Structure 1
Amino acid sequence: MPPELPPLPALTRAEGELVDRYLEVLDLLGRINPARGRNTYGGLRAAQALVVAATGLRDALTVMFERGEREVYAGTMARAMRVLDGERRAARLMLPPSSAS
């Protein structure tokens, strides 16, 4: 049985939406990354979905701003993203290790 994950920190609904949309964008960018991609079709599909995901991210930030949530609590957001496997998901944006030639 896998180890139990720590609970998500308390977030407003808009903060939770921001974290979810941000991680969605990370996932799509990871699929587009040409250093890790396998085919152009998968990258194309991810790029098309990125437009929708970026709109969702913008909308989450707009809701936060309109509700008077002017600050982003980076530590809390980072904890939430770690619980949701954000470190692994963000790693897909990086270049893979160089192979020994």
Structure 2
Amino acid sequence: MFPAQPPALPSLTRAEGELIDRYLEAVDLLGRINPARSADTYSGLRAAQALVGSAVALRDALTLMHLRGESDLHTATLARALRVLDGERRAARVTLPATAGAPDGT
């Protein structure tokens, strides 16, 4: 029996793909900086330093889209791409972790 195939990535323009990649890169770095989830200051410091370059790349991706006339974001398609690329799990690292005994049962 073969393992289940991951869902297919939706068709994106090159600029949309760059936007998604740079966004997820920034999210990953923010997750590493999150003081509620980090174990030491050095890894947070390194991630914060890298975030500067990541923010510039994200800005450049959005600027390129704007200059090419791609003024509308196709949110449903981009959200599907983020889900395929594990964006929900990656973005969850930016939030506070659930506490034991919280109302949601964790």
Length-normalised TM-score, structure 1: 0.95
C-alpha displacement of 1:40: 0.1
Gaps of 5+ in 2: 102-106
* Alignment-derived partner of residue 37 in structure 2: 36
Give the direction of change, closer, same or farther, for the CA distance of 1:44–1:2 in structure 2 (3 Å limit): farther
Partner SS for 1:68? coil
* Alignment-derived partner of residue 68 in structure 2: 67
Partner deviation per Cα, 1:31-73 (whole Å, 9 max, x = no partner): 0000000100000000000000000000000000000000001
> Whose Rg is larger?
2
Moved over 3 A (4+): none
* Alignment-derived partner of residue 18 in structure 2: 17
C-alpha displacement of 1:92: 0.3
What is the alpha-carbon distance in structure 1 between the residues aligned to residue 74 and residue 3 of structure 2? 29
In the alignment, residue 93 of structure 1 is paired with which amino acid? V
**1:8 and 2:1 correspond:** no
In the alignment, residue 31 of structure 2 is paired with which amino acid? G
Give the direction of change, closer, same or farther, for the CA distance of 1:2–1:43 in structure 2 (3 Å limit): farther
* Alignment-derived partner of residue 26 in structure 1: 27
Gaps of 5+ in 1: none
In the alignment, residue 99 of structure 2 is paired with which amino acid? S
Length-normalised TM-score, structure 2: 0.91
Give the direction of change, closer, same or farther, for the CA distance of 1:45–1:2 in structure 2 (3 Å limit): farther
What is the alpha-carbon distance in structure 1 between the residues aligned to residue 3 and residue 73 of structure 2? 31
Identity %: 66
Number of matched residues? 100
Give the direction of change, closer, same or farther, for the CA distance of 1:41–1:2 in structure 2 (3 Å limit): farther
